[in-house]
Structure 1
């Protein structure tokens, strides 16, 4: 698991996801992380290959970006794409870009 992101950047991304997009994280885990019955998902790590969630307080689930990220600016678009893919898979309407 390599990362082009500094530790501070990873912490900022995790904080933003957990503070502002907790529901989106849960949708991603349910649809793309293979945990359709998950009750909670907390963003626990981010690297070049995937975003990682702690599911239901214990299990760690990695959801690949689908491409290798090389800079922090790519994370937002990658998360939006995962969210939109999750909504499509679950048959839910996606909000506009966050």
Structure 2
């Protein structure tokens, strides 16, 4: 069974995303954060309703809140949702 999204789980997910999937986090900022000129982005928190990113946009640091399309149930749901979101974002940006 997957873990509920607690602050400790949020920290683990954010570290993993920032360390291993930085390009995906940047894509989330550019597409879902409506910041196409973002140069870098880091995930600072995730909860059942959305994710918080800090991005460099046009030389400024901005905080972005990206809501999910539904409330997530646990860490596995977060994992699957983030995968689905990056696939969708790549499709949107290639059209």
Q: TM-score range by the shorter chain?
A: 0.7 to 0.9
Q: Which moved more, 1:48-57 or 1:15-24?
A: 48-57
Return the TM-score normalized by structure 2.
Answer: 0.86
Q: For the aligned residues, what is the CA RMSD?
A: 1.5
Q: Which runs of 5+ in 1 are unaligned?
A: 93-98
Give the 4+ runs in structure 1 shifted more than 3 A.
none
Structure 2 residue aligned with 1:68: 71
- Partner-residue secondary structure (3-state), 2:51: strand
Q: Secondary structure at the match of 2:28?
A: helix
Q: How many equivalent residue pairs?
A: 89
TM-score (norm 1): 0.83
CA distance in 2, matches of 1:53, 1:62: 6
Higher strand share: 2
Gaps spanning 5+ residues in structure 2: where? none
